[in-house]
Chains A and B, each alone.
Chain A
Amino acid sequence: MKYAGLLLMPAGFFLTIAALVLFPDPLHRGIFVVCALAVEAAGLSAAVRGHISPRGESRP
C-alpha cells in the first residue's frame, strides 16, 4: 500500500505538468491542478496508512 501511495504522488505531479501544457485557460488549468493535488493527497494518505506500524512492533 505504501508503494502504491508513493507511486500515486508522481502521477499527481505529472497531471500538474499536463495542466500547464494542455490548458491555456486559467480556470480549466486551475481546476486540473487542484485535481492533481487531490491525487497527490490520496497518494500521501495511502503512503501514511501503509507506513503505520502495528501496535507493539516498536516494543522490544
Chain B
Amino acid sequence: MIGMPPPATGGITSNSDSVFVLTLALLLIAPLILAGLALINTGLGRSRSAAQALLGNVAIVSVAAIVFALVGAAVAGSLSVAGHAFHLAGKSWDWIGSGSLLLGGFGSAPAHEQLGLLFELQAAAFAALIPWGSGADRLRLAAGCALTAVLSALVFPLTAHWIWGSGWLAQLDRNFSLGAGFLDPGGAATVHALGGLSALAVVWIAGPRRGKFPREGLSTAMPGHQVVYVLFGSLLSLVGWLAWNTAGAILWLHAPLNTLPVDAVNTLLSAAAALLATLLVTRIRFGKPDASLCANGWLAGLVASTGCAAFITPGDSIAVGMIAGVVTPVLVEVLELALSIDDPSGAITVHGVAGLWGLLAGGLFASQPGQLLAQLVGIATLLGFVLPLVYLFFAILNRLVPFRVDPDGERIGMDLHELGGGAYPEFVIHRDESYR
C-alpha cells in the first residue's frame, strides 16, 4: 500500500493499489496538456492580444474547475452509478446524472470514482480551452469565462455522463448489442469534438476578425505572432497526452496494465505520422513546410489517437495519424478560403474534425462486431444534438454577455483594451495594413 495503512471500507484492494497510484500519477501529469494548449492558443494569436489570451486560458481553467465541481459533477453523475432514466421501446435511456451538488460525498467515494472525477474535472477545462483559441483577437475575457461556465455546468457533464458514466451511449452494447457501447477512452468526443464544435459556434457568433475577409482578393493572412510558443506547446502537450490517454484507458476501458505501453506507443505514432504527413502536404502545397500547420497536424494526430489508441494496433495508429495529418492542412485552408471561417487556432479542424475521425477510426479498426455502428451513433449525437445545443446556449449567452469586443478594442488590441497593458511593452505595435 506504498507505506500507507489499508483503508477500512470502500477503499482499494491490494491488487488495485498499483493501478490507483499509477492512475493518480498520470492524472497529475496530464495538466501539461492544458499548459501546452495555452501556449498554442497564445502563439497563434496576435502580439497585441497575447497577455489577454494567456490570462484567458488560466481564467478558463479556473472557471471550469469551480463550475464543474459545484454543478457539473452532479449533472455528469461522476460519483454515482445510476442516473435519471426514462423508458422507451422497452429500453432504459439514462440521460442525466443524479449526483450531489458541491461535490457531496467526494471524500467517501470509492477510489476509482474519485479518479474518474479528477479526470472529468481536467477534461471540462480542456474542452473549454478549445473555443477560446478560435475566438482569439476578438473574444472578450468575460465572454470566454461565461461560455466556459455554460460548457462546464451543462454541456460537458451531459456528454460525459452519456459516454463515460452510465448514460445511454455507454449502454448501446447492453440495450442494442452494438459492440462494446460507444467507446471514447481519451475524450475524442467529450473533449475534442465538443470543443471543436463549440469553437465553430463561437466563430459563427463572434464573426471574423476585422479585415480578415476584404472585399476583393484572397483573405488577409494573419499569422500567429509566436510560432516558438506553438511548437513548444505541441511538445509539452505530448507529455500530457501520453499520460491522459493511458489514464483514460485505465478508467473507462479498465485496460490491463500490460496493454498500457501499446496505448502510449500508439499515441506517439499517431502524432508522428500526422506531423510527417502535414509536413509533406505543406511542402508540396507551398514549396516549404509550414511550421504552424505542422503543429496543427501534430495535434490532430494526438487528438485522433484519443478516440482509438487504447484498442488498435501500432500499424493502425500510423494510418489514423497519417489521415489526420493530410486532412488538417487541407481543411484549414478550405475553411478559411472557401467558407470564410476565421479560426486562428485551427481548433475546428484540429479538435473537431480530428476528434470525429478518431471516433470513426475506433469503429473501423475495432474487432467487436457492431462497434462501427456504435461509433456512428455517437458521432450522429455530437453533430445532431450537441452542436445545435451549444449554438443555442451561446446565442442566448451572446445577448447577455456580448462575445465580441467593440471595433476600437479590436483595433488597439485585446491587451490594451481589456488589461490596460501589452504583453510586450517594449515592442512597437506597427500599423495594421488591413486597416487602410
Contact = CB atoms under 8 A, between A and B. Distances in A.
Contacts of B209: 58
Interface string B421-435: 000000000000011
B373 A29 contact: yes
B373 A56 contact: no
B309 to A, nearest CB: 24
B380 A55 contact: no
A26 B370 CA distance: 8
Contact of B384 (A13, A21, A58): A13
Contacts of A9: 383-385, 387-388
A56 B339 contact: no
Interface in B396-436: 407, 411, 434-435
B2 interface: no
A58 B88 contact: no
A14 B297 CA distance: 34
Interface in B342-384: 342, 370, 373, 376-377, 379-381, 383-384
Interface string B67-90: 000000000000000000000110
Contacts of B232: none
A12 B373 contact: no
B18 interface: no
A16 B435 contact: no
B288 interface: no
B176 A20 contact: yes
A41 B186 CA distance: 25
Contact of B207 (A16, A30, A53, A56): A53
Contacts of B172: 20
Interface in A1-56: 2, 6-7, 9-14, 16, 20-21, 26, 29-30, 33-34, 36-37, 40-41, 43-44, 47-48, 51-53, 55-56
B373 A40 contact: no
Best-buried of B209, B381, B388, B435 by chain A (most CB within 10 Å): B388
Given A21-B88, A60-B210, A10 B388 contact: yes
A44 B341 CA distance: 14
A49 to B, nearest CB: 8
Nearest to A20: B176
B340 A52 contact: yes
Contacts of B381: 13, 16
Nearest to B93: A17
B387 to A, nearest CB: 6
A48 B373 CA distance: 26
Interface stretch (B19-27, B150-158, B211-219, B234-242): B211-219
Contacts of B89: 21
A16 B391 contact: no
Contact of B383 (A12, A21, A34, A57): A12
B383 A37 contact: yes
B210 to A, nearest CB: 5
Nearest to A34: B376
Given A29-B373, A36-B380, A58 B208 contact: yes
Nearest to A21: B89
15 contacts: A7-B388, A10-B384, A12-B380, A16-B380, A33-B376, A34-B376, A48-B339, A53-B208, A55-B216, A58-B210, A58-B211, A59-B210, A59-B211, A59-B214, A60-B411
Given A13-B380, A29-B373, A60-B411, 6 more contacts: A12-B384, A14-B384, A37-B383, A43-B384, A56-B214, A58-B210
